[in-house]
Chain A
Amino acid sequence: MTWYRRRTVLLFMALAGLGAGFYLGLDPRTLVEPRTLRVLADFFGASFKPTLIAADGHSLWPAIWSGLLATASFAAAGMSLAIVFGAGLSFLATSGWWDGERAGRYHRFLGATVTAAARALIAAMRSVHELLWAMLFLAAFGLSPITGVIALAIPYGGTLAKVWSEILDEAPQDAANALRAAGGSPVQVWFLGLVPRVADDLASYGFYRFECALRSSAVLGFLGLPTLGYHVSLSFDNLLYRETWTFLYILFGLIVAVELWSSVLRKRRGWA
């Protein structure tokens, strides 16, 4: 890369940043007004004294525990469905299963059409945020736990399908070509020739998305599902900053635990 290109991009970025700041009326001086600073100091000061006793004198543990389990269960259920969507769509969205040497013109045309349709579907699934899917489903079906799971699974399935199919498209083709030459069907080539070659990459991206799913699941609590976000909003609306920090730290701990778990698995399995 030449300096010339970097300079162009950096210049564009600076102009865009200034433009956005003026458009939104972002004035740095408003951030250092005494009132603002006092509110921020109050809130961040409470971070040093999270509490396990609720305002009414009861223990906070039951709320923590139920929020934690709900967050984990929405995320895990959503991810399991997303993996099903992602696996199916990433198969259809890779060109590897129809673009072989032995493929006839008819199959090529059919394959290209199916792949294009799958990619369009993936784009549509991904480009609507999980909270908006949740709002659409709430409006359509009313509140039931399954709507939260499906709302998570659609955009996550789309994202998994996109990234997995990109990984599979860049996979080494040696095993796939050998299987094709030996007369393997597309499904055989895909499962025996392509997937095992990049299984570690597929798995570690899946784990990263699980971490994201935990965060999204917590946020779904703001729509009224019983996850950690619900407890954060409830305690904060009552100005119980110390309780809010407890729930924030619990969410933090959950994310860290999953990151540690995935790094342990990575080491044991040799995931890159």
Chain B
Amino acid sequence: MSAVSLALLVVWAWAYGGFRFTDLFQNQSRENATRFLREIRPFPLQDQPWDWTTWFRWMSETIGPNASEALGATLALSVAAVILAAMAALVVSVFAARNLAGPEPFAPSGKPPSQIARVLHRGLVGVTRLILLFARSIPEYVWAFLFITMLGVGAWPVVLALAVHNAGILGRLFSEVIENVEPSASRTLRVSGAGRGQLFVHAILPQSLNRWLLYFFYRWETCIREATVLGLLGFISLGWYIQDARAGVRYDEMVVYVGLGAILILLADLVSAVARRYLRSG
């Protein structure tokens, strides 16, 4: 049943969208592609045999002056955004976890909670989750487009856009970690009179921090990917140079910047994998 509906969806999608591979091989497209392949060769080497010294000189003259700014800004955007997102998620996840934000966290007191308390707590959790869900269903790129148009081009709107989307994801993941915490420590504390704040600091935080950090690094990887692209919207990071090269039909430079972005992402994957292994093995 489900397999059939999925297959139907795919068939419908190809028919509705009018996606035809033959579009790639029509005369116009073929001419386009041939020209593109010629133009992605570095400019001084077009229609010339490949020569590494010329290539190196071209790289250091055209890409060199911009590379450190492009890469530095992309990296800084992703780091600032993911840290902001994690701080927001840390606060919000407390209100989205059914156990900690329930009317009776972890241990029943003498009398059962009143109906009103139950409804209020459920409402709080529900509204918090709805906001998180909304924040993460709008893509970073759309948030960035909205914020940049409202606040003007700058670092803040880009950082905020990345942070809002990722706070939605991390908030959900963090709150799931809180809900899956082994409850005995919290129960003991609760029975001896600890409030929610004390429960959080002395039981939830130490028990959850490991998983939170793993999720943090996983999101940082995706933040770097997105940060390269958000420059398309005008803030000077890698994406801006890519957009600029495309607008000036300098495809040779465009391809190099795309490649630089790919290298940055691969390096970030590596750093993140090392950090996660370091945390796990401790």
A contacts, CB < 8 Å to B: 1-2, 4-6, 9-10, 13, 16-17, 19-21, 23-26, 30-31, 36, 39-40, 43, 69-70, 72-77, 79-80, 123-124, 126-129, 131-132, 135-136, 139-142, 144-147, 149, 215-216, 218-219, 222, 229, 232-233, 236-237, 244, 248, 251-252, 255-256, 265, 268-269
Contacts and interface: CB of A to CB of B under 8 A. Distances in A.
B134 interface: yes
A128 B14 contact: no
A146 to B, nearest CB: 5
B133 interface: yes
Contact of B23 (A77, A131, A146, A269): A146
Contact of B282 (A4, A72, A256): A4
Interface residues of B, number: 70
Indicate the member of B17, B76, B255 with the most A CB atoms within 10 Å: B17
Given A16-B83, A131-B229, A252 B137 contact: yes
A20 B20 contact: no
Interface stretch (B104-112, B148-156, B178-186, B192-200): B148-156
Given A76-B10, A127-B262, A256-B137, A1 B280 contact: yes
Given A43-B150, A131-B141, A141-B24, A9 B213 contact: yes
B117 interface: no
A232 B142 contact: yes
A192 to B, nearest CB: 19
B246 A123 contact: no
Nearest to B72: A23
Contacts of B70: none
Contacts of B83: 13, 16-17, 20
Given A24-B77, A73-B17, A145-B18, A215 B150 contact: no
A215 B16 contact: no
Contacts of B226: 129
B261 interface: yes
Indicate the member of B21, B79, B139, B151 with the most A CB atoms within 10 Å: B139
Contact of A140 (B36, B155, B266): B36
Given A1-B279, A222-B141, A20 B76 contact: yes
B120 interface: no
Given A24-B76, A141-B24, A6 B210 contact: yes
Nearest to B78: A20
Given A6-B209, A145-B19, A1 B142 contact: no
B127 interface: no
Contacts of B20: 144, 146
Interface stretch (B26-34, B55-63, B92-100): B26-34
B258 A219 contact: no
Given A4-B282, A251-B137, A25 B155 contact: yes
B146 A43 contact: yes
B141 A219 contact: yes
Nearest to A125: B262
Contacts of A233: 145
Contacts of B258: 128, 132, 136
B12 A149 contact: no
Given A128-B262, A132-B229, A144-B23, A17 B13 contact: no
